Structure 1
Amino acid sequence: MEFIKKSYYYFFYKIYRSIEYTSELSGGSFLTSFKAGFVMIVLEIWVLMSLGAYYATYTKTAVELSISMPIIYIPLLIIIGFNYFTLDYKDTWKGYNAEFDRLPKNKNRLGSWIVFGIVLLIISNLVYSFYLMSQIDWSQYR
């Protein structure tokens, strides 16, 4: 369990550092922790969206969703609440960021590539799941 917790904080750390770096290049860093938290929430939502798209594709179930449906807003509230309590509440992430800053450069470089690969995997997974959904003739399943 400790490994998963540290991995989650390391993932946030790398997102935070990359946003901090790009913000400084483009004119100043402000609300960096908010931006990094937002990226984490978006990535988690994309994972759920791709799972939903795979479910719809493989069960051939046409699903029409809206934000007022509990299947949408309950997971959204859980994701936002989870991120708030793990990252923002009592600024727990700051201690982990300080710890990860002390890691050797080689480990941090490898970690950057791993996080980059995971982000690419999440994005490509979402695109592929939508591609699979587009290949089905949904008119016969309604």
Structure 2
Amino acid sequence: MKRLKKAYYYLFYKLYRWYENVGSFAFWSDWKAALSLDVIAIFIGISFFTYYMIFIDRYFRLGDGKFLLIGYVLLIAIPNYFIFHSRNQWKDIVKEFDLLPKKKNRIGGWLVTGFVLLVITNMVFAFYLMSQIDWAKYR
């Protein structure tokens, strides 16, 4: 569990550093990094739900799904606020990972990039699979 927490913090750190290096958009990088983590988690949840509908239960419906989506977003966003912003913990996280050797940080950057691309690709693939189904016979 401790390694998972450290990986989550490192993902935040690399997103934070990426937003800091973008140029003229270097303001509120901590909030943008946390929002990016929220979006990544939402993408993962939506893709798993999509796979569930494709492979396990094609008749499963959530009604209109608005309240579930709002609840899911809050379930992700509220803990992230307390993890990173409630007492400016993000500053300690950035300081901790700034001390890593340059080579280790570069390798970590490639791993984070790969993970983010994997999440996005997974989401696109899940929607592609969903588009291949004739949903008319499941209504």
TM-score, normalisation: structure 2: 0.92
Which of 125, 130, 135 is equivalent to 2:132? 135
Distance 2:125 2:102 in 1: 34
Q: Deviations over 1:56-79 (max 9, x none)?
A: 11122363664633x222211110
Cα RMSD (Å) of the superposition? Answer: 1.5
TM-score, normalisation: structure 1: 0.90
Unpaired stretches in structure 2, ≥5 consecutive residues: none
Q: Percent identity?
A: 41
Q: Does 1:9 align with 2:6?
A: no
Q: Deviations over 1:5-49 (max 9, x none)?
A: 111111100000011111x2xx24211111111111111100011
Structure 1 segments (4+ residues) deviating >2 Å: 61-69
**Higher RCO, Cα 8 Å, sep 6+:** 1
Letter in 2 for 1:11: L
Unpaired stretches in structure 1, ≥5 consecutive residues: none
Q: Deviations over 1:114-135 (max 9, x none)?
A: 0000000100000000001000
Corresponding residue pairs, total:
138
1:30 is paired with a residue whose SS is coil
Distance 2:39 2:25 in 1: 23
Distance 1:20 1:67 in 2: 36
Contact 1:16 1:36 in 2 (8 A): yes
Distance 2:62 2:5 in 1: 35
